[in-house]
Amino acid sequence: MTRSFRTLRSLVLLSPLVIASLRLSAQSPVVSPPVAQPPLRFEVASVRPHQSAGDEPSNRRVLPGGRFVATATTVRTLIRIAFGTDDNRMSGAPSWTDNETFDIDATTADHAEVTTPQQFQQLILSLLEDRFQLKFHREQKEGAVYWLELNKPGKPGPALKPSTPGSEPNMSTNSTGSRTVMKVTNMSMIDLAAALRRQAGRPVEDHTDLKGNFDFQIEWSPEETPDSADPSLFTVLKEQLGLKLQSAKGNLETLVIDEISHPSAN
């Protein structure tokens, strides 16, 4: 979100493949799949500056026929998706990657379907390299993380419900600035850890040992004050989900942007 989006209502809806791509960075170490996925690339990709007509939400969708559609999306968001990383694990990105938004309509060669999060991430990376001339390297360092744990061993909170079999995976975060609402359907604790890293301000690792997928809805105040109508995220996690965020140290990978440019012509 940029400019007025930071203070006005924002809505983020993630498709299952987008969620799964973000999930990868919450798993440490990342295990390579046993069979290498065939590389996919976009054969046609339209990238245009977003023409704002008001308070449109930023949205990204993977559609049948190998089509990817993004609206009001920043380049920094694309980088986060491609690498499964977050702002505090990224350096060197110029300010325009966060201040300017783009609309993207891209289709894979031969309309090949995108079936795995690894393929989706590779597609977004190839888009960044081909159209935004992205060049980067990685560095390792120790840093602060959170461990997502049960507040009381073996006792989830009352709002954490096992998912109904066959329900569609979905995660949405709706923020008004004074209140944030997260609604989750059919998602695992690894998914939740991946989603919480932006809300908590540092990477989150799942140490709950809770298996299976869950449904819940929680509301909290991003900045708890005596006048806040809602409690903090930490309080909501503990009282409603039976979870806590425990400070810890971890080995963090930092993405360093060496070069990135405005998109080439369509």
User: Prior bond to 226 cis, omega within 30?
Assistant: no
Tell me what pLDDT residue 202 has.
85
Q: Which of 20, 14, 90, 10 is nearest to 57 (CA)?
A: 10
> What pLDDT is recorded for position 156?
94
> Digits of tens for pLDDT over the chain (266 positions)?
333 333 333 344 445 555 555 554 444 433 333 345 557 889 989 999 998 776 677 889 999 999 999 999 999 999 999 998 878 789 999 999 999 999 999 999 999 998 887 889 999 999 999 999 999 999 988 889 999 999 999 999 999 999 988 888 888 888 887 889 999 999 999 989 988 988 888 889 999 999 999 999 999 998 766 666 789 999 999 999 999 999 999 888 889 999 999 998 88
Closest CA to 196 of 71, 19, 4: 19
CA–CA separation, 200 vs 128, rounded Å?
Answer: 27
DSSP characters over 17-29? HHHHHHHGGGSSS
Provide DSSP, 112-126.
----SHHHHHHHHHH
What local confidence, expressed as pLDDT, does residue 188 receive? 93
pTM of the model: 0.61
Radius of gyration of the chain (CA): 19
CA distances from 100 to 4, 56, 91, 262, 263 (A): 12, 14, 18, 10, 11
